[in-house]
Structure formats: structure tokens, C-alpha cells
């Protein structure tokens, strides 16, 4: 055989090979993987046999698919889309496609999807009830996937999730304790069971777990419930008001949210108004309260007015319940016949404040009036002397003093007349 003939034979062989392989490559590119989905099952609530006619599906973008390497990330991904409509999912992943209609085979129903490329697919069984859709599922097709791959449906949602949050900030609250009770008040038991590599808190009649705690996401997720239940708080979070015994709404599936306010403990403080000399109780004294803030002490307000207190017949008065903090008592009106006490009384509201009290003293005015130059006036001295005489009963001295003053007056007039 000549060299020319050998080359010609090689060219023919290559051409035949390419002609055979090219269609196969094109077929591989278009996809040659299939999914067979079992579409009949028993409804967990109605106990009726259900057949789903179609399965809708979307191909997940490669960018998102690369983060779905483990069971937990896959479960989290599915939960993101379980409550979304088909339109919402299509807006994110593109056109929704559907399986062939389910067909019966050996007493069971199956829907088939052909021509799938390698990748990750989000599938959801088409539901006739828009209020209760099916849980989406992920199908991962790679070089290790069985072809065809058979998967099974789940009615959605088959989990009940409690989320505990701060009422004001919305911050999640972890490590809050709960038990789960049915509508008869009976406490349910649970076990941690692995499902597709993910540990789930699942209802079990003879389970050992009777108290559950919110996780890092402030959530408790429970599975396999057979009836409506309530979450009942057993252990509050430190720094928040106790809601021990408080129950959530009743539900078997879906999501429940419970809110908690931060603990703002209050207490009161007692006072007594007394005479500083004899310690008799004084009524009618009026006070205002100031609270310490970042700006200093500010008047405590109530209904857009300054909050005031008045001493009663026993001289007693106490604050209303106030949040923990530093306060100041200031007298604004003294008891009748007494000098106002201008010295503020500082006090602290804390857990022992109700056991404490402060005595506030007032004194009657006793200091005589003074002249502008600082000395005691003649009239004052005279008044004091007259008062002293009145107390001793020595009227003779008084008469002599009066006569002496008259004589001085007459002498002064006589001198002026002669001039």
C-alpha cells in the first residue's frame, strides 16, 4: 500500500469518527440526565392519598450553587424559598419549567424530567392549595448522580419555628428556655434525629428532651408534630422581663414570633417631714423630684407637669415606683410657719430603696430682723428689752424709761425755743 493510500485511509477514518462523535457532544451539551419524582403520598393531616400532577423547577445559577456544598447550607437555601411564589423565584432564577404529567407505574405515580444538564435544580411540587404549598427541594446532578435520579416529595412546611426577639430593637435572643405543650396542656417530648445529615429536633412520644432553648439565631425548630402546640417559656434571659409561663399562639407548622422587653426594675423611696427642734411631724410640705441624666439633674415629669409630692398629717410621703437610678428631692414649699429647707436630698432607687427613708427637717423663724448696716436696730433692742420686761413683770423700770424719754423730748424743745 502506497503512502498516499495510507493517508487517504487515515483521513476517512477521522472523518467518520468526527461524524459519529459530534452529535454525541451536542447531545451531552444539551443534557442527558433525568429525574423521576414519586408524586403520590399520604397527607399527614387529612390522611388522604394525594397525587401531584406536575413538578415545577428552576436551574440555580452556578454562582449560588457553589455555596451549596453541605446539607445544612442546602437546607438553609430551601428555607429561603419555601414561602416564595413561583413568580418571585422566576424573577431570581429565570424561566420556570415543568415536568411531564405524572403517570402510574406499578401502583405508584411518577413525574419525569428529561434533558437536564449537570447543575443544581430547585424543584417544587405543584399544589392546588396556594395557602399550603409544598417545600421546594434541591436536586444536584453531577458525574456521581444516578441517572435517572429518583426523589420524593414533602408537604410544606413540616416544621414549626419559634423566633424570640427584643421588642424594641428586633435583636434575636438566644438561650431562652421553653417547653412545648399541646392544647390539653400536656408537655411533649423530642429527640435529635439526623435527616440528610442535618440534626433535627423531632417529636417522639417517649423522647428524652422536654426543654428546648433558642439557638444562635434566636430560634427553636421542631419537626414531626402531629397536632397544634404552644411554646411555653420556662427560663427567661437575664436582663429581660420574666415571661415564665407565657404561651405562644397554637400552631402545627409555620413560624411563631415572641417578643420580650428589657427588664426595667422599679422601686420607691420614703420620706418624713419633721420639725427640726422637737421632731413633730409636719404636713403640707411640697417637693419635686429630679432624676440624674447625662445632662445633669432634670425635673421628673408626669403628664407634662412636674411630678410633686406633699407630706401628709404624719409628715410622711413616698415616691411612686421609679426606674433604678439616681434622684434628688427638692422642697418647693415649706409647711406653714416654717422656713423653706433649700438643701437637696439625694437618694438612689435600687433593689433595697423601699426599705430606706430620709427625714427632712424644717425650722421656725427665730432670728430677729437686722438693719441694713448689719447691726441690730434701736427699735429692735427696745422691743427685745420690752419683751424681757414683760416676761419679768418689772413695770416700774418701764415707767421710768418712758418718763425719761419724755423729759429728754421736752428738754430738746426748750433748747430750740430759746434759740
Reduced to 3 states (helix: H, G, I; strand: E, B; else coil), residue 221 is strand
Proportion of the chain above pLDDT 90, given as a percent: 46
Give the pLDDT confidence of 84-96 residue by residue, as tens digits. 888 889 999 999 9
**Residue 332's pLDDT band (cuts 50, 70, 90):** very high
**Residue 14's pLDDT band (cuts 50, 70, 90):** low
Selected residue with higher pLDDT from 367 and 35: 35
- Among candidate residues 73, 126, 42, 82, the one with its CA nearest the CA of residue 254: 82
Residues 6+ apart with CB under 8 A from 160: 221, 222, 223, 225, 229, 251, 252, 253, 254, 255, 256
- Our CA angle for 374, 376, 382, nearest 5°, is 165
The domains located in the chain, with CATH, are 27-151 (2.60.40.4180), 159-260 (2.60.40.10), 266-362 (2.60.40.10)
Give the pLDDT confidence of 215-262 residue by residue, as tens digits. 999 999 999 898 999 999 999 988 888 899 999 999 988 889 999 988
Give the pLDDT confidence of 60-84 residue by residue, as tens digits. 998 888 888 787 788 888 888 877 8
Rounded Cα distance between 61 and 31, Å, is: 16
Q: Where does residue 241 fall: left (phi above 0), alpha (psi -120 to 50 degrees), or beta otherwise?
A: beta
Answer yes or no: is pLDDT of 46 > 70.
Answer: no
Residue 169 has what pLDDT? 85
What are φ and ψ of residue 25, in 5° steps? -65, -40
What the block records as the C-alpha cell of 191 is 429527640
Q: Which residue has the cell 411554646?
A: 231
Task: Count other Cβ atoms within 10 Å, centred on residue 166.
Answer: 16
> In angstroms, how far is CA 340 from the centroid of its own chain?
47
Residue 375 has what pLDDT? 44
Give the pLDDT confidence of 147-159 residue by residue, as tens digits. 878 876 554 446 8
Rounded Cα distance between 415 and 419, Å, is: 7
Let me know: does 177 contact 211? Beta carbons within 8 Å: yes
**pTM for the predicted model, two decimal places:** 0.39
Average per-residue pLDDT in the chain? Answer: 82
Amino acid at each position: 500500500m502506497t503512502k498516499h493510500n495510507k493517508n487517504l485511509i487515515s483521513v476517512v477514518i477521522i472523518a467518520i469518527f468526527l461524524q459519529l462523535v459530534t452529535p454525541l457532544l451536542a447531545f451531552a451539551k444539551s443534557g442527558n440526565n433525568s429525574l423521576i419524582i414519586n408524586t403520590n403520598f399520604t397527607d399527614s393531616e387529612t390522611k388522604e392519598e394525594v397525587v401531584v400532577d406536575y413538578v415545577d423547577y428552576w436551574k440555580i445559577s452556578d454562582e449560588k450553587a457553589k455555596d451549596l456544598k453541605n446539607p445544612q447550607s442546602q437546607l438553609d437555601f430551601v428555607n429561603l424559598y419555601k414561602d416564595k411564589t413561583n413568580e418571585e423565584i422566576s424573577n431570581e432564577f429565570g424561566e420556570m419549567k415543568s415536568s411531564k404529567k405524572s403517570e402510574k407505574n406499578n401502583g405508584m405515580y411518577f413525574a419525569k424530567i428529561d434533558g437536564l444538564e449537570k447543575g443544581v435544580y430547585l424543584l417544587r411540587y405543584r399544589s392546588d392549595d396556594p395557602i399550603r404549598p409544598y417545600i421546594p427541594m434541591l436536586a444536584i446532578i453531577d458525574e456521581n448522580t444516578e441517572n435517572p435520579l429518583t426523589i420524593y416529595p414533602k408537604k410544606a412546611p413540616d416544621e414549626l419555628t419559634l423566633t424570640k426577639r427584643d421588642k424594641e430593637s428586633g435583636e434575636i435572643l438566644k438561650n431562652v428556655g421553653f417547653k412545648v405543650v399541646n392544647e390539653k396542656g400536656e408537655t411533649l417530648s423530642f429527640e435529635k434525629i439526623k435527616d440528610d445529615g442535618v440534626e433535627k429536633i423531632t417529636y417522639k412520644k417517649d423522647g428524652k428532651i422536654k426543654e428546648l432553648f433558642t439557638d444562635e439565631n434566636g430560634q427553636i425548630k421542631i419537626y414531626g408534630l402531629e397536632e397544634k402546640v404552644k411554646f411555653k417559656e420556662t427560663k427567661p434571659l437575664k436582663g429581660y422581663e420574666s415571661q415564665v409561663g407565657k404561651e405562644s399562639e397554637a400552631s402545627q407548622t409555620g413560624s411563631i414570633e415572641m417578643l420580650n422587653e428589657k427588664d426595667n426594675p422599679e422601686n420607691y423611696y420614703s420620706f418624713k417631714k419633721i420639725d427640726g427642734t422637737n421632731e413633730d411631724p409636719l404636713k403640707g410640705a411640697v417637693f419635686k423630684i429630679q432624676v440624674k441624666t447625662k445632662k445633669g439633674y432634670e425635673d421628673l415629669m408626669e403628664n407634662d407637669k412636674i411630678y410633686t409630692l406633699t407630706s401628709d398629717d404624719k409628715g410622711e410621703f413616698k415616691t411612686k415606683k421609679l426606674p433604678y437610678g439616681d434622684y434628688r428631692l427638692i422642697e418647693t414649699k415649706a409647711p406653714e410657719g416654717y422656713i423653706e429647707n433649700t438643701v437637696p436630698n439625694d437618694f438612689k432607687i435600687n433593689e433595697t430603696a423601699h426599705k430606706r427613708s430620709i427625714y427632712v427637717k424644717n425650722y421656725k423663724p427665730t432670728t430677729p430682723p437686722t438693719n441694713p448696716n448689719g447691726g441690730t436696730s434701736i427699735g429692735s433692742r427696745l422691743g427685745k428689752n420690752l419683751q424681757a420686761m414683760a416676761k419679768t413683770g418689772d413695770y416700774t423700770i418701764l415707767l421710768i424709761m418712758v418718763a425719761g424719754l419724755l423729759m429728754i423730748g421736752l428738754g430738746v424743745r426748750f433748747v430750740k425755743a430759746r434759740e
